[in-house]
Structure 1
Amino acid sequence: MESALDWHAARAALDWQLEMGVSETLCEAPVDRFALEDAVKAERLAPRRGAAGAAPVAEPEVDPVAEAQAAAAAAPDLPALAAALAAYDHCELKRGARSLVFSDGAAAARVMLVGEAPGRDEDLQGKPFVGRAGQLLDRMLAAVGLSRDESVYITNVLPWRPPQNRDPKPDEIAMMLPFLKKHIALVDPDLLVIVGNISAQALLGRRGITRLRGTWQEAEGRPALPMVHPAYLLRNPGFKREAWNDMLELKVKLRTLG
């Protein structure tokens, strides 16, 4: 049977699906993932039956944040922390993501940059900041003599891509925060660059990055500079002057720290 779509319409439909995060075909018929998640949650909450005639046995309650804290605390180094993240099963984002996006850059760097969450390109390649925003970030770093190959280490608050690049939910940030804090402790940079609202919320407890940017704060016991996300600069190129001032501020701070 001939399709009702011509070639151009079919290509446009495919491009739209790729933009929405569809990366592979699993079956011919659509699957309602939300219904599956509801069924799994209902099964978890349902009481288990004990021996014949015995009262139902309640499933023990799981505290995802406490489990994240325990898993992160037990990691002695970066490979172990990455493995602990990969084994952590309480964050629903993991089920819809293609890759665990852990980090990129030089682990011994003085500057650690904390972004928000992976996008489509990051999810495909398994590295943070590799799309258009990442390319702009690399140019910004190079302008002040920095690079991810030698002097900058990069990670995100969330290691898995949220569907349709939506903002992470508070419970998702709470689950990932113990891993992020241990990540910072293991890298032990001289200073942090906090990129975007989600990162500011996670590490500073505040949002409003256009007001926070350019003013040194303290996070995880070290100086921290909030700045707008490069993706924001792509949408608002008039803000690049302020971003350039922030990069100069970073350069000066590194000199003063020695």
Structure 2
Amino acid sequence: MKTVSDEEWMSYLAKSKAKKLQPDNPTHPDDLLILGGTEGSKRKRRGDRARPSQSHSTSVIQTEDVQMGEFVDGGVTVQTAVPPPAVVGVGSSVWGSSFDPAASSVVCPSGQRNSGSEFEDEVDHLKKAHQEELAEVRGAHACEIAGLRKKHAAEKTSLRTKAAIRETEVTNLDVLHNNLIVSLTQAGKDVWELVEDVDELEETNVAFKQSMADKYVDGFWSSIEQVKVLFPELDPDMLAQVDVMKRIKDGKHI
């Protein structure tokens, strides 16, 4: 916030005091700088210069290096050797006879403080609005992120459950596969054993049949010998026709 320096403020006070000593030489109100508004007067912005009217011709009083003491025709001598920066004077026609210069030391800073306070209030309002907007955006994003995290966690849990089920199914299939392989292997062994048993049975059967044939032949010839002993009168040629390979059919020995 811009403030009035002490030197500048003292120059304003000296100018006001000089104008009090010269009431018959007023300056035009449009050329005056109003530092603080008094009752019934309008406030002008510093740096604005009003257009002088044709009915009033005024002179600007130089406020820097004013020397008080010598009076000329009721006026104040003014040193103009080195022209200082021109400052618009304040006439009694604007402030009136009731103007108190000391009051401006309160009015001017107060106006500036009010302006600064309004600016600070606006800045605070903008900050507050920005913070509220930022908090709202953060809240929205936080809710969205929380929802996405919850959804992700649910999907992750579901996928893990499905993966566990699939893993169990794969394990069961592996066990079944291994059991089937073992069963097939055992069945193959059993088949080979059965084949060997069948071969053995066939060999045994053949041997049994051969044994029965051998016994039949031995019994047949034993019977012939017994007949020869029991019946010696039988014709040997007739007995020679008897053979183990022949049989009797329809009463004939064939």
* TM-score bracket for this pair, using the shorter chain length: under 0.3
Q: Which has the higher strand share?
A: 1
The structure that has the greater radius of gyration is 2
